[in-house]
């Protein structure tokens, strides 16, 4: 075992956990899920069967990552954020065969208490504000807030707001990385 788990965590057989991952108090890792390397699974987190977490994924306290969710590398899930996996749940109707996939692309961050309705894709490096309710796909590098979530700007890979000039270019104030806005899509200039 090359991961570290608090004694109160429940790790079911049949899950795969990468090296240097840390799993904290009262979390439950269910069979059939895959967790990458160097992840940090906070307190009271549930990772359901079939979930895939890439490398260096950080999940803060009180998050349930339900079947159908895939998080690529370097994703951040804020405290008490919520995923769903059925579009129209009913207690008396079994819909386990109707789970919808939710994809969270590389480097995206989802703020505290945000909700992501199933079947949507969160683009690479997108930033979902605290308390936002995501009901449709989010573009790469987009900054979205509110209920329902709406895009109010763009962010760099380091999470700083981008201000584009008349040539549709912007720089990250922390790194100096350059970004181009083209046809309502942002791309990092390499």
- Pick from 88, 84, 91, 38: nearest CA to 64: 84
Spans of all domains in the chain: 4-161
Chain segment 74-116, per-residue pLDDT in tens: 999 999 999 999 999 999 999 988 999 999 999 999 999 999 9
Identify the CATH number of the domain defined by range 4-161.
2.160.10.10
What is the C-alpha separation between 65 and 87, in angstroms, rounded?
16
Q: Whose CA is closest to 42, among 112, 126, 139, 100?
A: 112
When pLDDT is cut at 50, 70 and 90, the band that residue 1 belongs to is: low
pTM above 0.85, yes or no: yes
């Amino acid at each position: 075992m090359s991961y570290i788990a608090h004694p109160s965590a429940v790790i079911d057989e049949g899950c795969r956990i990468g090296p240097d991952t840390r799993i904290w108090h009262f979390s439950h890792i269910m069979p059939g899920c895959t967790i990458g390397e160097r992840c940090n699974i906070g307190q009271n987190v549930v990772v359901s069967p079939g979930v895939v977490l890439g490398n260096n994924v950080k999940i803060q306290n009180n998050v349930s990552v339900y079947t159908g969710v895939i998080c690529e590398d370097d994703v951040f899930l804020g405290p008490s954020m919520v995923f769903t996996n059925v579009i129209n749940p009913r207690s008396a109707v079994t819909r386990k065969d109707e789970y919808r996939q939710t994809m969270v692309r590389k480097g995206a961050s989802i703020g505290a208490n945000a909700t992501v309705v199933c079947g949507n894709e969160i683009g690479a490096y997108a930033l979902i504000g605290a308390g936002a309710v995501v009901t449709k796909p989010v573009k790469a590098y987009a900054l979205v807030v509110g209920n329902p979530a709406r895009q109010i700007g763009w962010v760099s890979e380091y999470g700083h707001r981008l201000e584009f000039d008349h040539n549709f270019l912007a720089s990250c104030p922390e790194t100096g990385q350059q970004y181009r806005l083209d046809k309502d899509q942002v791309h990092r200039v390499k």
